[in-house]
Amino acid sequence: MSEHSHPSASSWFPVFLDLEGRRVLVIGGDEVALRKIRRLHSAAAIVDLVAETLHPGIAELHDGERLHWLGASIANDDLGGHALIVIASADAFTRDRIRAWGEKQGVPVNVVDRLAESSAIVPAVVDRSPLIIAIGSGGQAPELARMIRSRIEKLLPPSIGHLASIAGSLAGRIRSRFPELARRRRFLDWVFNGLPADEVAAGREDHSRALITRALEKDDWSGPGHVSLVGAGPGEPELLTLRALSRIQAADVIVHDGLVDARILDYARRDAEFVDVAKRPGENGVGQDGIHGVLLEHARAGARVVRLKGGDPMVFGRGGEELAFLRANSIAYEVVPGVTAASACAAYAGLPLTQRGMAQSVRLVTAHCERSIDRLDWAALAADYQTLAFYMSVGQLAHIEHQLIAHGRSPDTPVALVENGTRPDQRVAVGELRELAALAREHAISSPAMLFVGEVAALARELGWYGDALLKGRERIPQAVAATG
């Protein structure tokens, strides 16, 4: 490559080099060189290093076997035998001399951060060995390449590399068992998206390998299905965990509650089957036994089932009952936690659940019906210096107001109602305990809504940041955004 040539982004040919046991020359002993040496060592390369001084991290790696320090300079006669040359830092004369030698000998040379002087560039890498993903921009936008790498890293669980290793070790048997491409692809789809993948994600690699091996021997890989109890969070799709998103996208069947935002269901495959088991007022919804039956039917048919619940499935979501049922019927399952409504709605209302001098603890309470609310320890709930977070409480606000005041909680205690928390139509009403029921009637607060009781509820007036208004009394008062430093 001539000194003045500037390759276009499209002229770079992406390729992976096998450097195991091969020598690579690195010029420079600074922190940049340290990063390159670590990458080269991860590829099992042997590094020859030319540098006047060594970064402390490089000095720790110097062992005379995988890393040889050749001194401060190198003669042309000693450049041979290298599969790659990386110039991390060097003066212009040294760069030009080594580049010229590399061009003459056909050895690729990477000059860090000097695209026009390089005949090889090092991409941003997502390492899920043996799965390696390289992202390059032809040197035009390396920061963008690194940003994309970060996004991909979040989407790919670390376990995917272990799954790739298992599949790779069985590649010959899989090809022999399924010589037809179409059947082999269907089998590999089951390996990478079905129960074997779930087992690896749960840390059971040996079980995953056994499943695949048995499937190859018996040609039976539909088998019993798997159920994932997945928390859909409070509503805002971006609050889904990465694992929840992965399970939704891979599901054959999604059994969902009415609190699950429709935007989250849009993440599912187009051919996924949806089962709505919402319990809506005035309707004969599916009871818990019916939900159990749906899960069992689809799991026994070999489906990947996602039981999608608003918030977290293990917080007032009857998740424990469903796990016990699945276990009793020998159905494999996992739990993917979600952001529960108490923390999410409080955060979006600018309301800290704990605060020095105001609240030292938090209680999560369900007020779904009279049968459950009458069992509450109202005396304990009425104690000061704690925050109460009531789920499913809209129909019981008058009862909550009466019981807390009757058991000693001050009528002046701040309260906050957060309706449709985290969603575009979120509303927050702040008042005092003595006016709780009236506050909800005045602003027509409806489910889903969280009730917060405690001194911290008043902070929503000044710390609220989401939305454009705060509801109080008979007015609609513009919401102030506090600078918290």
| 432 within 8 A of 409, measured Cβ to Cβ | no
Q: Is-catalytic flag, 257?
A: yes
**Omega within 30 of 0 (cis) for the link into 352:** no
For residue 415, which amino acid is it? Answer: V
Supply 26's token pair.
């690195």
Q: Which residues on neighbouring strands pair with residue 274, listed in sequence order?
A: 254
Backbone angles phi, psi at 5, to 5 degrees: -80, 145
Exposure string for 246-276, b = 16+ CB within 10 A, e = fewer: bbbebbbbbbbbebbbeebbebbeeebeebe
Q: Got the DSSP string for 9-45? A: GGGPPP-----TT-EEEEE--SHHHHHHHHHHHHTT-
- The tally of CA atoms less than 13 A away on the side-chain side of residue 100 is 8
Could you give the CA distance from residue 258 to residue 277 in angstroms, rounded to a whole number? 7
Q: Got the DSSP string for 296-355? A: HHHHHTT-EEEEEESB-TTSSS-HHHHHHHHHHTT-EEEEE----HHHHHHHHTT--S-B
Q: Exactly one of 252, 257, 261, 312 is catalytic; which is it? A: 257
Q: Exactly one of 30, 127, 276, 279 is catalytic; which is it? A: 279
Supply 239's token pair.
């609050």
| Catalytic site positions | 257, 279
